């Protein structure tokens, strides 16, 4: 680890792990079962400097890099996916504003996101527009001094808890006429639907967003009225690094539990870790996690170097989330009957892992992105 990471990156990673072990992991199972969003605990991430890790110091951040962010995301998710996943969304929101917003927008919103005074969310998905983001039907109609927003967004996390929403709307008749708007929680005409009942990832709430003649000033547009789709897709690239890191952390948590159980569980007079069948499972789990981790940090380093990382981020998201699904399932198998009981944490890991194969572009979409890159077809 010393040869791969800088001292600053290692310090951030260790601090994140320590915070999760001392203050968060112990309450994760109970809060997940009750679907409680850990707002006070999440607010502490700002105090510790984690939510501003990739923002310049002039906006209240610490000016670190993508590798440091990935390390923190991994450790937070190793403690609790709902925590790490929400953190990943927060970072994507801040990076979207940092890379595409006006100076006025940066000064207004980034300090709030960096300190976690405000929680952020991104809203693109609709009933008839999931992976095909360009097919959204929500509209932004120009009016005096701004726009009237109408439509709805589906499956938005952390809907209802977030204070700042970055939302994609149609601004014209062309498929590419789209813009991202900043909409604050208390804006008139902006409402929330019911809280969704989910299989896993329960403590990070998911809700529908509803817009009915919701007025926002022109100053709330991120970028231009015709480049929202491009802004969205670029934001997803960084988001995929985050999801990859989150998946690695979850998979590592499952392996940690499986290793401990395999050493302690005795069958036929010896620990099950002594049986070759279990050893091979653990070896495959560890190998896949390490391979996923390398993909994640490689794509993060490419981003920090200013190089193209679209394909690598897609690979990292794809492989890491598939790994998380496989490793958590294997962990349940190693635990046997205990693994299927709700009191055992590995069953929660398995339910949570499934979401990672769907968010930030399904893994089928990632394969399309990868194929287009390696075939040289970026259309």
Q: Identify the burial level of 231 via C-beta atoms within 10 angstroms of its C-beta, where 0-12 means exposed, 13-18 middle and 19 or more buried.
A: buried
Catalytic residue among 161, 312, 330, 360: 360
Cα 240 to Cα 157, 232, 263, distances in angstroms: 16, 12, 35
Cα 252 to Cα 158, 271, 290, 330, 359, distances in angstroms: 24, 21, 9, 12, 20
Token readout for 346 is 């590995």
Q: Identify the burial level of 230 via C-beta atoms within 10 angstroms of its C-beta, where 0-12 means exposed, 13-18 middle and 19 or more buried.
A: middle
The answer to whether 203 and 32 have CB atoms below 8 angstroms apart is: yes
- Calpha distance 239→305 (Å, rounded): 17
Q: What is the DSSP string of 275-302?
A: SHHHHHHHHHHHHHHHHHHHHHHHHHHH
| Catalytic residue status for 360 | yes
Helix (H) or strand (E) holding 191: strand 190-195
Catalytic residues: 360
């Amino acid at each position: 680890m010393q040869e791969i990471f800088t001292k600053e990156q290692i310090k951030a990673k260790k601090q994140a792990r320590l915070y999760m072990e001392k203050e968060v992991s112990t309450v994760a199972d109970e809060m997940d079962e009750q679907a409680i969003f850990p707002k006070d605990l999440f607010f502490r991430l700002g105090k510790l400097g984690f939510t501003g890790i990739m923002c310049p110091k002039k906006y209240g951040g610490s000016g670190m890099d993508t590798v440091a962010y990935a390390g923190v995301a991994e450790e937070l998710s190793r403690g609790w996916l709902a925590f790490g996943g929400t953190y990943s969304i927060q970072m994507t929101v801040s990076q979207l504003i940092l890379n595409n917003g006006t100076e006025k927008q940066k000064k207004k919103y980034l300090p709030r996101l960096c300190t976690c005074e405000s929680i952020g969310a991104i809203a693109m998905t609709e009933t008839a527009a999931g992976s095909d983001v360009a097919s959204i039907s929500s509209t932004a109609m120009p009016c005096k001094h701004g726009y009237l927003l109408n439509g709805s967004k589906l499956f938005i996390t952390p809907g209802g808890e977030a204070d700042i929403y970055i939302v994609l709307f149609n601004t014209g008749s062309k498929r590419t006429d789209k813009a991202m708007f900043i909409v604050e929680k208390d804006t008139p005409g902006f409402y929330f639907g019911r809280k969704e009942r989910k299989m896993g990832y329960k403590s990070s709430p998911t809700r529908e967003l509803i817009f009915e003649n919701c007025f926002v000033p022109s100053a709330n547009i991120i970028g231009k009225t015709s480049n929202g789709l491009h802004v969205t897709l670029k934001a997803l690239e960084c988001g995929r690094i985050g999801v990859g890191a989150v998946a690695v952390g979850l998979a590592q948590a499952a392996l940690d539990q499986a290793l401990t159980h395999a050493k302690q569980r005795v069958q036929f007079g010896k620990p099950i870790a002594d049986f070759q069948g279990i050893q091979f499972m653990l070896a495959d789990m560890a190998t896949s996690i390490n391979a996923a981790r390398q993909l994640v940090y490689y794509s993060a380093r490419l981003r920090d170097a200013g190089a193209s990382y679209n394909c690598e981020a897609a690979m990292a998201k794809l492989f890491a989330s598939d790994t998380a699904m496989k490793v958590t399932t294997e962990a349940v198998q190693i635990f046997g009957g205990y693994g299927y009981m709700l009191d055992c944490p590995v069953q929660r890991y398995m339910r949570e892992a499934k979401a990672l194969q769907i968010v930030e572009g399904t893994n089928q979409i990632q394969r399309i992105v990868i194929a287009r890159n390696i075939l040289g077809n970026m259309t």
